[in-house]
């Protein structure tokens, strides 16, 4: 099997525990390239190397908060909200909405740019949360049909969904990914490129916090403490705890790490007895999992 096949298989395997994950973690774990970021796309899984600007140094900092996403409905609720947002917008555009299972599907169906999709969200979805009853009315289906087609077993009990906010985040975030890649490819001045990338990361966290609502007070505090020392930072992974990733430079990375140790970890009861160097550290893109063949 190729790395690409193993990454796809690993992503689908995770769903057997009930988490409707997308496969980003599995993709980078197998497909990572030393010294490069990866632009990853799905259906089918594709990856492209993105050369980072000179001087970029990334720092990982653990928030000391952990959520078992397979035991809660938070993660799957966001997946469901994106499904429902795509389906209602498809219905409003006269498409076969039952065949639309993601916001990416909808974008392909209407052949629109990411900026145009943002405008479409603002046009077709209201900002107030949708009740389950309202969604059934919009799609002209029974609650049982909706549960079977659009929801997972641990989201059928949810009574209200924020469709406008989730769809808006997804399309704007996808546009930030596009912009990040363009900066890396086209900006010739490294210092200016790093500033632009940092700004995109800051915007990303604000959106994850306010529109997608998957942040955590500890993550927000780490992001806040890095202001003026890191070029930008954002939560990484699914959220609700875990880590942030921050963009710094060789000149600022030590000061940034020491600041977090002093103002976040020192005296924090959750950090007592732990090696701080394992909770906050500089890192760089490296090769993903390797496959070795042993000759007999």
Write out the catalytic residue numbers: 25
- Cα(64)–Cα(229) distance, integer angstroms: 21
144 burial type by CB count under 10 A (0-12 exposed, 13-18 middle, 19+ buried): exposed
How many Å apart are CA 259 and CA 91, to the nearest integer?
51
Question: What is the C-alpha to C-alpha distance for residues 54 and 65, in angstroms, rounded to an integer?
Answer: 33
Helix axes 217-225, 253-260, angle to 10 degrees: 140
CA pair distance 170, 257, nearest whole angstrom: 30
Pair of tokens at residue 205: 């966290």
Using the CB atoms, write b or e for 263-296: b if 16+ within 10 Å.
ebbeeeeebeeeebeebbeeeebeebeeeeeeee
CA angle 17, 21, 25 (to 5 degrees): 110
Pairing of strands 280-283, 46-51: unpaired
Phi, psi of 221, deg, nearest 5: -65, -40
Length of the chain: 296
């Amino acid at each position: 099997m190729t790395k690409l096949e193993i990454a796809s298989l690993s992503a689908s395997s995770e769903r057997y525990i009930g988490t409707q994950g997308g496969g980003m973690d599995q993709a980078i774990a197998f497909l990572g390239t030393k010294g490069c970021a990866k632009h990853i796309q799905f259906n089918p899984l594709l990856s492209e190397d993105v050369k980072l600007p000179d001087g970029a140094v990334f720092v990982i900092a653990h928030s000391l908060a952990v959520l078992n996403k397979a035991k809660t409905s938070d993660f799957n609720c966001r997946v469901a909200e994106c499904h429902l947002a795509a389906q209602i917008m498809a219905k409003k555009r006269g498409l076969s909405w039952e065949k639309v299972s993601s916001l990416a599907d909808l974008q392909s169906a209407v052949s629109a740019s990411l900026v145009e999709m943002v405008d479409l969200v603002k046009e077709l979805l209201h900002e107030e949360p949708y009740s389950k009853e309202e969604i059934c009315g919009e799609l002209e289906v029974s609650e049982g049909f909706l549960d079977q087609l659009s929801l997972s077993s641990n989201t059928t009990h949810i009574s209200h969904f924020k469709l406008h906010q989730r769809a808006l985040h997804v399309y704007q975030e996808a546009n930030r990914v596009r912009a990040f890649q363009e900066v890396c490819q086209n900006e010739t001045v490294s210092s200016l490129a790093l500033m632009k990338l940092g700004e995109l990361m800051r915007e990303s966290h604000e959106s994850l916090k306010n529109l997608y609502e998957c942040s955590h007070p500890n993550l927000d505090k780490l992001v806040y403490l890095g202001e003026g020392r890191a070029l930008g930072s954002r939560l990484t992974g699914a959220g609700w705890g875990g880590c942030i990733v921050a963009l710094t430079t060789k000149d600022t990375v030590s000061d940034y790490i020491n600041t977090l140790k002093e103002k976040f970890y020192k005296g924090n009861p959750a950090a007592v007895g732990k090696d701080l160097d394992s909770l906050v550290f500089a890192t760089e893109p490296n090769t993903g999992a390797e496959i070795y063949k042993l000759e007999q």
